[in-house]
Amino acid sequence: MPHDPAVKIIKKQSWGDYHLFRFETPALAAGAEPGQFLMVRVSDTPFPLLRRPISLHAKEKNSLEIFFQVAGQGTALLAQKKEGETLDILGPFGKRFIPDTNALPTPAVLVGGGRGIAPLYFLAMELNKLGARVKVLYGGKSRTDLPVREKFEKAGLDIVCSTDDGSFGHHGFVTGLLESEIRRQEPAILYVCGPDPMMKKTAEIAAARRIPARISLESMMGCGFGACWGCVKRIRRDEGGEWRKICEDGPVFWADKIIWEEKE
Amino acid sequence: MPHDPAVKIIKKQSWGDYHLFRFETPALAAGAEPGQFLMVRVSDTPFPLLRRPISLHAKEKNSLEIFFQVAGQGTALLAQKKEGETLDILGPFGKRFIPDTNALPTPAVLVGGGRGIAPLYFLAMELNKLGARVKVLYGGKSRTDLPVREKFEKAGLDIVCSTDDGSFGHHGFVTGLLESEIRRQEPAILYVCGPDPMMKKTAEIAAARRIPARISLESMMGCGFGACWGCVKRIRRDEGGEWRKICEDGPVFWADKIIWEEKE
Amino acid sequence: MTPDLTADLGFLKLRNPVLTASGTFGYGLEFEPFMDLSKIGGIVVKGLYYGPREGNPPPRLVETTGGLINAIGLQGVGVEKFAAEVLPKLRQIDTAVFVNVCGASDDEYLKAIEFLNAQEGIAAYELNISCPNVKKNGLCPALGPDPTYALVKQAKAASRRPVIAKLSPNVTDIVEIAKAAEEAGADGLSLINTLLAMAVDIETRRPKLANIFGGLSGPAIKPIALRMTYQVASAVRVPVIGMGGIMTGADAIEYLIVGARAVQVGTANFIDPAAAARIAGEMKDFCEHKGIARIADLVGTLKTD
Amino acid sequence: MTPDLTADLGFLKLRNPVLTASGTFGYGLEFEPFMDLSKIGGIVVKGLYYGPREGNPPPRLVETTGGLINAIGLQGVGVEKFAAEVLPKLRQIDTAVFVNVCGASDDEYLKAIEFLNAQEGIAAYELNISCPNVKKNGLCPALGPDPTYALVKQAKAASRRPVIAKLSPNVTDIVEIAKAAEEAGADGLSLINTLLAMAVDIETRRPKLANIFGGLSGPAIKPIALRMTYQVASAVRVPVIGMGGIMTGADAIEYLIVGARAVQVGTANFIDPAAAARIAGEMKDFCEHKGIARIADLVGTLKTD
Ligand SMILES: Cc1cc2nc3c(=O)[nH]c(=O)nc-3n(C[C@H](O)[C@H](O)[C@H](O)COP(=O)(O)OP(=O)(O)OC[C@H]3O[C@@H](n4cnc5c(N)ncnc54)[C@H](O)[C@@H]3O)c2cc1C
Ligand SMILES: Cc1cc2nc3c(=O)[nH]c(=O)nc-3n(C[C@H](O)[C@H](O)[C@H](O)COP(=O)(O)OP(=O)(O)OC[C@H]3O[C@@H](n4cnc5c(N)ncnc54)[C@H](O)[C@@H]3O)c2cc1C
Ligand SMILES: Cc1cc2nc3c(=O)[nH]c(=O)nc-3n(C[C@H](O)[C@H](O)[C@H](O)COP(=O)(O)O)c2cc1C
Ligand SMILES: Cc1cc2nc3c(=O)[nH]c(=O)nc-3n(C[C@H](O)[C@H](O)[C@H](O)COP(=O)(O)O)c2cc1C
Ligand code: FES
Ligand code: FES
């Protein structure tokens, strides 16, 4: 039963709006895989009503990490939790980032924007273990928006950053970094997580170059485990598309299967 | 403006379900009087929606104390607050316990049951200062239900206790203590706060002996300052009774003005 | 540039779109220690019958998740005492005063209006045809288009002032009732009053309210109230005043976007007695932030394409 | 002494009074990892049309204070695929299965019923005449006594199984609709479906749901749902199944006290996927604690004198 009502926070790190928790939770860590997410109860009162989906950021034998950014009242309450406190968590849920073992010798490029970097650390560590050559592209608004950069570096991972304001690394969007990376050497595969416009742009780049890309989508989730049908997005089938559940059929999809919403 | 959105808890003491907070709050302490109460916001989320009324337990120049018992979800959240944290508080509100200066030489007897002892400490200290002879009767379920007994003793106040189970002091209800006290020496005045049946019984005793008694009533409060008309109880007028607001016209009333509800 | 916050009700221009809801702001004076009453658009006083009223026995309140059920039953002083003791003080305050008029029968509404017509310092009447706490099972004129039409028509004929009809959410088709009130000549519509509700004490097996039923208010009902405000504002020409669960400036702006020209703040006053002024301030900040010159430009701008 | 928890719906005895509400429990199997499905009274599966259905575009959910607005729009596999792929698995589970039947027209309801009649392993049909997310403005048969009567009558004639009519709260007089369904032969009534609601994003000035309107569920609506359950249970003879915002055993017991013979747990399943079993356990504990030998003895015991 993937439910641990008292997951202990054994380590907390904070950088402004960003927070990292390490949990001691053998029950949930067993079998947890990169790309999956947890459904976290952020309070023991009826406010907020629903759990919040948060990706797995890292895993060790009996422990898991999450890395999140305050986006509203739920994540603000979560950020108030302290080391030693416990959380009620369900999961892990969802389909993992499948490591493309065929492509192993040529580099796998991981593209993360803002909090979207969260699941890519876990994936990078796994790909690394599998012997894949990994390059991480990490974009933020400014220098202070890249809190886990050093963590990748310490783990010996090849990481390049961009900031919208140019205060650190490449000046511009992370998709710009991706374009120059592709010019340098075409990646075998892309793994992507970030804000919608960034993911959409990455999907376009991947499509133009015919680079396979796996994208982790976000969506408003009622349950996280397939019961409410609230989290759907349009996913391509043989012909046409259909509403598929992000929590169960995703959150990771092949980029060319995603039908992006047209919004003003 | 009797509103302090950031009242700091400078001291916290806990005994099981009972908790005492001392606040640093010159704004609210100025003019605060025994019998009055505060409206405390126990969380910064919409749950619970309403503030909770809590009596003033003690006052020093710039600080106030409250003493409360966990009764439900609101007081449970309040009890989780720690020293150094702040609370959003309105008040003080309500009519004070008026010290009956005519009766000063003969003893004023203060009768408190359970959490009802809260406002009586503040009152006892004031009466004491005014030179009145004060006797406090304090009833609880059992020995552990009398957490502030020592506090009264340390302040040099004359206090006698009762417990329902006989584990400390007089075995029985505090109204039994009151009856023996009256047999010993008839008090000039009673000041009473506790559960409804205890207050009703005290009112009956006071009426039978024609001892003036001031009783502090409780009621479900929407606002605490006279705006919602939710907190009414039946209070006697010249003839008949009318619904009067506990928060504004009370919480302290003359015992013989209170018309007690008939419930099964 | 300071945004223009005025709200135009047609018959009256308000300083800003924030009024206080009837029954949640006493007679207004209770809030003077907490707030400068000239900072808000106006106040709607507690419902008044012609004569004084006892109200319901307690318990009168139950808190629920995100909500408050009340069964006050319109305890109040009646219009005469109100005119003698409260109105003179309210006239000293620079804000629009709306009187929420109640009646056990059509005649009683008219008697109250006729008496109030002779008093100064009232901007308009809000006809409370929707209180669920007075008759059994929450019955009130606003449950049907016919009683609504009949009562509003008579009230308009009797009144020398603009009449706003306050609608009930406890109906199948609120647009039908809104249209009946508009046809009868209402100068504006306000909505919603509370939703008929109850709660039970499982220990005693008794209703938690002495009155059994009460009216639910607070953030819990906002999604329902906003939907109804949108439906009504899209269907009538008279100005609509929206309310239900407004706690913040953002909540109030949602109401403007769906078509309300002004809003009322109710339950929030109990938790934060300066809520109405705070909300008006937050709305101003929003406009400044977004470069909106006139807050009225937000009204009815919901994009649904 | 272990209390007797059985709930008697007349046409069926349930192990205990806790069912799961349609649309909040998938097809049941989604919850097997979390809960022993034989610990609850039964499951009501997600609403089924005769054919497969796409549902509404996202966003389909908005969280509100104490509530959830959904506009799923009944995305689903249709009865054929359900019968082929889901029912065989449900038949392995020792619990009562109710099928929530939907239709865009009366005929479609009947087609679904006729198809399902031929399948085994279904305890009863719950006729979803009250979904607010399918037609414009939340229109559905349960808004009027006549369409309710007509549809229930036909469904009864077509059905070889008991038929429960699921009522809408978006009405002026739910008792009138309940009586129409009873007269038409409904074997039971369940209530409430969700309350028509909306929310607005003030940044984009768009509705937060692609469908504009959705249905509000969760603890926010409990006081309204409980009131309606009480009104209906006091007015009909057929068994009533209550729901709306049940999160705990105490909530469920409130429903029994006002007259429901059983309850359904909805939104709570999303937060605690073992909620239904937990609630059944809490109800048992309550009975033990209070020395109540049969939980059915609580039904309709509200004291209002
Ligand atoms: C599969 C998945 C994995 C995620 N992993 C992470 C992670 O590792 N780190 C991290 O910081 N965030 C992650 N998120 C996003 C995170 O769930 C939201 O930021 C959070 O739910 C917002 O809750 P809130 O109460 O703080 O904000 P709210 O006040 O509820 O909303 C604030 C804003 O966030 C949007 N939002 C609300 N819920 C969601 C949601 N479920 N998904 C996306 N946007 C939402 C709202 O539309 C609104 O614009 C993930 C989301 C999904 C679906
Ligand atoms: C003027 C006044 C002064 C008070 N002073 C103190 C004090 O000094 N120390 C202290 O421990 N308690 C005091 N109380 C009682 C305290 O307000 C309640 O215990 C508290 O509001 C319960 O909130 P809750 O959320 O914990 O419980 P809930 O879950 O809301 O309710 C638990 C139980 O408490 C009852 N209750 C709820 N609200 C009130 C209320 N406003 N008054 C009485 N009963 C209520 C409910 O009916 C229920 O039976 C005072 C009450 C009043 C009216
Ligand atoms: C305690 C209380 C008393 C009320 N009294 C009245 C009243 O006298 N007249 C009236 O029209 N509405 C009355 N209402 C309804 C409010 O004016 C308002 O319509 C409702 O509370 C919804 O707004 P809210 O959610 O902001 O509180 C009352 C509401 C509450 C909570
Ligand atoms: C996401 C979601 C989907 C729903 N789908 C259905 C449905 O298919 N058929 C139906 O009759 N009711 C449906 N409902 C309504 C519930 O069955 C129930 O009536 C309502 O949610 C109130 O109960 P609750 O407050 O416990 O959730 C749905 C509710 C939710 C939240
Ligand atoms: S979040 Fe409920 S089905 Fe995906
Ligand atoms: S608590 Fe609101 S009037 Fe007394």
In chain D, the percentage of residues whose pLDDT exceeds 90 is 91
- The verdict on the CB of residue D246 being under 6 Å from ligand 4 is yes
Higher pLDDT, C133 or D217: D217
Cross-chain residue pair A222–D61, CB shorter than 8 Å: yes
Q: Identify the three-state secondary structure at position D189.
A: strand
Neighbour order of strands in the sheet with A18-24: A52-55, A37-41, A86-93, A3-15, A18-24, A63-69, A58-59
Cross-chain residue pair C65–D206, CB shorter than 8 Å: no
- Distance between B67 CA and the closest CA of chain D, angstroms: 29
Residue B263 pLDDT greater than 60, yes or no = no
Q: Could you tell me which residues are beta bridge partners of residue B13?
A: B20
- The verdict on the CB of residue B221 being under 6 Å from ligand 6 is yes
Report the pLDDT averaged over residues D44-63.
94
In chain A, the percentage of residues whose pLDDT exceeds 90 is 85
CA distance A228 to D26: 7
Local confidence band at B261 (pLDDT 50, 70, 90 cut-offs): confident
CA C192 to chain centre: 7
CA distance C102 to A3: 54
Residue D152 pLDDT greater than 80, yes or no = yes
- Distance between B45 CA and the closest CA of chain A, angstroms: 7
Nearest atom of ligand 5 to the alpha carbon of A226:
3
- The verdict on the CB of residue A250 being under 6 Å from ligand 5 is no
CA distance A134 to A104: 9
Buried b (16+ CB within 10 A) or exposed e, D119-130: bebbbbbbbbbb
Report the pLDDT averaged over residues B250-262.
89
Is residue A134 within a helix (H) or strand (E), and if so which, with residue range? strand A134-140
CA distance D241 to D243: 7
Q: Which chain D residues are closer than 8 Å to A242 by Cβ?
A: 54
CA distance C103 to C110: 8
Name which of C183, C254, C268, C199 is nearest C225 in CA terms. Answer: C254
CA distance B101 to D28: 72
Is D99 domain-assigned?
yes
Q: Identify the three-state secondary structure at position C192.
A: coil
Instruction: Tell me the residue length of chain B.
Output: 264
In chain C, the percentage of residues whose pLDDT exceeds 90 is 91
For residue A254, count other CB atoms closer than 10 A to its CB. Answer: 15
CB contacts < 8 A, A to C, total 4
CA dihedral D131, D136, D138, D144 (to 10 degrees): -90
Local confidence band at A240 (pLDDT 50, 70, 90 cut-offs): low
Q: Identify the three-state secondary structure at position D65.
A: coil
- Distance between A28 CA and the closest CA of chain D, angstroms: 13
CA distance C148 to C106: 10
pLDDT digits (tens, 9 = 90+) for C61-109: 999 999 999 999 988 889 999 999 999 999 999 999 999 999 988 999 9
Is D85 domain-assigned?
yes
pLDDT digits (tens, 9 = 90+) for A132-151: 889 999 999 999 999 999 99
For residue C93, the model assigns a pLDDT of: 92
Neighbours of chain A (3+ CB pairs under 8 A): B, C, D
For residue B263, count other CB atoms closer than 10 A to its CB. Answer: 7
Local confidence band at B103 (pLDDT 50, 70, 90 cut-offs): low
Centre of ligand 2 to C-alpha B219, Å, is: 8
Range of the structural domain that residue D142 is part of = 7-55+73-194+218-298
Is residue C142 within a helix (H) or strand (E), and if so which, with residue range? none
pLDDT digits (tens, 9 = 90+) for A199-226: 999 999 999 999 999 999 999 999 999 9
Cβ–Cβ contact C137 with D under 8 A: yes
For residue B206, count other CB atoms closer than 10 A to its CB. Answer: 25
**How far from C102 is each of A223, B239, C112, C133, C255, CA to CA, in Å?**
46, 27, 8, 12, 26
| Residues of D acting as catalytic residues | 131
CA distance B119 to B141: 19
CA distance C190 to C238: 10
For residue C1, count other CB atoms closer than 10 A to its CB. Answer: 7
- The single-letter code of the amino acid at C128 is N
Q: Which chain C residues are closer than 8 Å to B232 by Cβ?
A: 55, 58, 60, 75
Q: B159: which 2 tokens? A: 């206090």
Residue in chain B nearest C34 by alpha carbon: B1
Is C60 domain-assigned?
no
pLDDT digits (tens, 9 = 90+) for C114-140: 999 999 999 999 999 987 766 777 778
DSSP C164-177: EEEPPSSSS-HHHH
Residue B1 pLDDT greater than 80, yes or no = no
Mean pLDDT (chain B) is 92
Residue D133 pLDDT greater than 90, yes or no = no
- The verdict on the CB of residue D128 being under 6 Å from ligand 4 is yes
For residue D89, the model assigns a pLDDT of: 95
Residue B7 pLDDT greater than 80, yes or no = yes
Local confidence band at B104 (pLDDT 50, 70, 90 cut-offs): low
pLDDT in tens, chain C (305 residues): 799 999 999 999 999 999 999 999 999 999 999 999 999 999 999 999 999 998 999 999 999 999 999 999 988 889 999 999 999 999 999 999 999 999 988 999 999 999 999 999 999 999 999 877 667 777 788 899 999 999 999 999 999 999 999 999 999 999 999 999 999 999 999 999 999 999 999 999 999 999 999 999 999 999 999 999 999 999 999 999 999 999 999 999 999 999 999 999 999 999 999 999 999 999 999 999 999 999 999 999 999 98
Is C271 domain-assigned?
yes
CA distance D71 to B50: 31
DSSP A26-86: HHHHTT--TT-EEEEE--SSSSS-S-EEEE--EE-SSEEEEEEE--SHHHHHHHT--TT-E
For residue A262, the model assigns a pLDDT of: 65
- Distance between B74 CA and the closest CA of chain C, angstroms: 11
For residue B2, the model assigns a pLDDT of: 85
B88 within 8 A of C273, measured Cβ to Cβ: no
In chain B, the percentage of residues whose pLDDT exceeds 70 is 96
Is D63 domain-assigned?
no
Nearest atom of ligand 2 to the alpha carbon of B71:
26
Domains by residue range for chain A, with CATH: 3-93 (2.40.30.10)
The residue whose C-alpha atom lies closest to atom 4 belonging to ligand 2 is: B54
CA C76 to chain centre: 17
Centre of ligand 2 to C-alpha B246, Å, is: 13
Residue A105, Cβ density class (10 Å: 0-12 exposed, 13-18 middle, ≥19 buried): exposed
Nearest atom of ligand 2 to the alpha carbon of B75:
26
CA B229 to chain centre: 21
For residue A242, the model assigns a pLDDT of: 86
Name which of D248, D253, D255 is nearest D229 in CA terms. Answer: D255
For residue B121, the model assigns a pLDDT of: 97
φ/ψ region of C23 (left if φ > 0, alpha if ψ in -120 to 50, else beta) reads left
Mean pLDDT (chain D) is 95
**D130 phi/psi in degrees, rounded to 5:** -135, 20
For residue B262, the model assigns a pLDDT of: 65
Q: Which chain A residues are closer than 8 Å to D58 by Cβ?
A: 219-220, 230-233, 243
CA distance C43 to C126: 11
Return the residue in B45, B50, B75, B78 with the most chain A beta carbons within 10 A, the one to mutate for interface testing: B45
Nearest atom of ligand 5 to the alpha carbon of A224:
1
Higher pLDDT, C252 or B99: C252
Residue B238 pLDDT greater than 80, yes or no = no
CA distance C90 to C96: 9
Return the residue in D27, D60, D217, D248 with the most chain A beta carbons within 10 A, the one to mutate for interface testing: D60
pTM: 0.97
Option in C55, C218, C274 nearest B229 (CB)? C55
pLDDT digits (tens, 9 = 90+) for B173-207: 999 999 999 999 889 899 999 999 999 999 999 99
CA distance A36 to B2: 51
Q: How many domains does chain D have?
A: 1
Local confidence band at B239 (pLDDT 50, 70, 90 cut-offs): low
B225 within 8 A of C30, measured Cβ to Cβ: yes
Local confidence band at A264 (pLDDT 50, 70, 90 cut-offs): very low
DSSP D59: P
CB hemisphere CA count around B93 (13 angstroms) = 27
For residue A103, the model assigns a pLDDT of: 62
Name which of B135, A232, C68 is nearest D61 in CA terms. Answer: A232
Pocket test for ligand 5, best of A40, A231, A249 (most atoms within 8 A of CB): A231
Is C281 domain-assigned?
yes
CATH number of the domain that residue D273 is part of? 3.20.20.70
pLDDT digits (tens, 9 = 90+) for B19-54: 999 999 999 999 899 999 999 999 999 999 999 999
Mean pLDDT (chain A) is 92
CA distance D195 to D216: 5
Buried b (16+ CB within 10 A) or exposed e, C161-175: bbbbbbbbbbbbbbb
DSSP B132-164: --EEEEEEESSGGG-TTHHHHHHTT-EEEEEET
Residue in chain C nearest A49 by alpha carbon: C65
Least confident of A34-48, A249-263, D54-68, D189-203: A249-263
Option in A2, A48, A223 nearest D270 (CB)? A223
In chain A, the percentage of residues whose pLDDT exceeds 70 is 95
Is C34 domain-assigned?
yes
Cross-chain residue pair A48–D63, CB shorter than 8 Å: yes
Is C201 domain-assigned?
no
Neighbour order of strands in the sheet with D61-64: D61-64, D67-70, D214-217, D195-197
Residue B264 pLDDT greater than 80, yes or no = no
